[in-house]
Amino acid sequence: MNTTTIHNPVIWADVPDPSVIRVGDCYYMISTSMHSMPGCPVMKSKNLMNWEMVSYVYDSFEDNSAHKLLNGKGIYGKGSWATSLRYHEGIYYVCFSSNDMQQFYVYQTKEIENGPWERFVIPGLHHDPSLLFDEGRVFVFHGNGSIRITELTADAQAQREGGLDQLLFETETEDIGLRCEGCHAYRMNGYYYLFFIEWPSNGNRRRRQMVYRSAELLGPYERRIVLDDDMGYQNNGVAQGGIVDSVTGDWFAVLFQDHGSVGRIPCVVPVHWEDDWPVFGVDGKVPQQFAAALPAEEVKPLVISDGFEYDRNRLALNWQWNHVPDPDLWSVTERPGRLRLRTGALSQSVEYARNTLTQRTEGPACSASVLLDLSGLTPGDRSGMVALQHHLGAVGIWVDDSGARFVVMSVNGEEGQETAVERIPYEHSFIHLKMEFDFAKSLDIANFFYSSDGENWHTIGSPLQMKYTLDHFMGYRIGLYCYATRKNGGYADFDDFCYSKTV
């Protein structure tokens, strides 16, 4: 078998709360997607280093105003959290809780890359769950500090009547700011292993990886710290995730690290065993790189350029919508070779504008540009590109009540309305827009540009100091948007979305 050099992070982009399994010689990873739709992205790899998008679990999982970003409501920072991925007797299982719905969701399929997925809803919030299949029984471990075990039916479609549903144990409380959560459960070596993260308020004061072990399902459980390292980055611990083996019997942990405004980025850590305890890293550290007996694999891009050449209204998997889109208000076939976004519900900010189409940003630096046809915009319309988080920055065209056009760099105002930083009259029918992101050395800066010809670029506005905040709980995304502030009926056509990143 070839040897692959794993470089950390394996993905320098927002892929939080990873859950990884191996089926045969393929690894599959799923992660938290919150308000991005379609949701629960499934990635595939042969070597844990090179990942490609292969599917999503759902296009949307609820039909209400908040999920559709209507009437001033949204599910920013909510939606699907900490998804658990498992494979058992030919079926793939995905489960997560939704904080806004206070419900627990289980999805099942025999074809993880093609679906379809069958959905089951169980009342009650099961925070950061982990599924465990154990000798014909199915359990969910969940909770924050107060760790509970809940038994499901054998088909994992409902809570088992009369089954286990109890407090399993309480985790440490002394000098702990965030008690144990983010469970990943396994049974092997004659033990039950429960992996968590916790965040102490003394010592290193950073997120660290824990493991609880017991020979009996209901305990008692022993406890160990298995990783407490920040890879030299701002005391942000690498933690939260599970373990997975290789065909040849090697073991690895897939965890994540908070990494500023780009989001939470996944890392792979070598694992070995001593006295049936997992030992993470090399001398207690996450290596910047290490050799693994895994096959070489072609690198597939996570974020892509797109000329919008589609023969049906189904976009590349790399794109996700901000909340559930209105399918009647977007098209890549109405004007072939263009993404057409029509205005819908009125808004005063792109943060609450429906049908904003997004992709991730990537470190250490990246840029994106797009060509925008303005001919369909009407008075009061706004369209362009956005660096999307709560502390957003955007560059685009605003049309005033008289029909005059202005190229504008804008940010979120104190009251949530979009506020112009710089506004310049613009008379052309087309405009090229560009954003550049710098995440290296903790700069977290975005800059904004426009051009009438795609060659001579002009800076506009001011650099955006990007901030990762928990109201969105997601790294910055590149978004394409078109919304109305006065009345519906306008539209924008996008072409030649070009993306590049610094390696």
Which residue of the set 17, 258, 362, 438 is catalytic? 17
pTM: 0.97
Q: Is 17 annotated as catalytic?
A: yes
300-318: per-residue pLDDT in tens? 999 999 999 999 999 999 9
Residue 415 has pLDDT above 90, yes or no: no
HSE of 298, CA atoms in CB hemisphere, 13 A: 3
pLDDT of residue 376: 98
What average pLDDT score do residues 356-365 get?
Answer: 98
Helices (H) and strands (E) in the chain, counts: 0, 38
What gap in Å lies between CA 349 and CA 356, rounded to an integer?
Answer: 11
- How many residues does this entry show for the chain? 503
47-69: per-residue pLDDT in tens? 999 999 999 999 999 999 999 99
Decide the pairing of beta strands 91-98 and 103-109: antiparallel
131-167: per-residue pLDDT in tens? 999 999 999 999 999 999 999 999 999 999 999 999 9
236-252: per-residue pLDDT in tens? 999 999 999 999 999 99
Which part of the chain is CATH 2.60.120.200?
Answer: 320-502
Q: Which architecture does CATH list for 4-292?
A: 5 Propeller (2.115)
Q: Is 59 annotated as catalytic?
A: no
Query: Which DSSP letter does residue 447 get?
Result: E
Q: Please report which confidence band the pLDDT of residue 1 belongs to, taking 50, 70 and 90 as the band edges.
A: low
- Range name among 204-213, 361-370, 412-421 with the lowest pLDDT average: 412-421
What gap in Å lies between CA 123 and CA 111, rounded to an integer?
Answer: 26
Judge contact between 342 and 480, C-beta under 8 A. Answer: no
What average pLDDT score do residues 334-362 get?
Answer: 97
Which residue of the set 181, 198, 444, 493 is catalytic? 181
Which part of the chain is CATH 2.115.10.20?
Answer: 4-292
Yes or no: domain 320-502 corresponds to CATH 2.60.120.200? yes
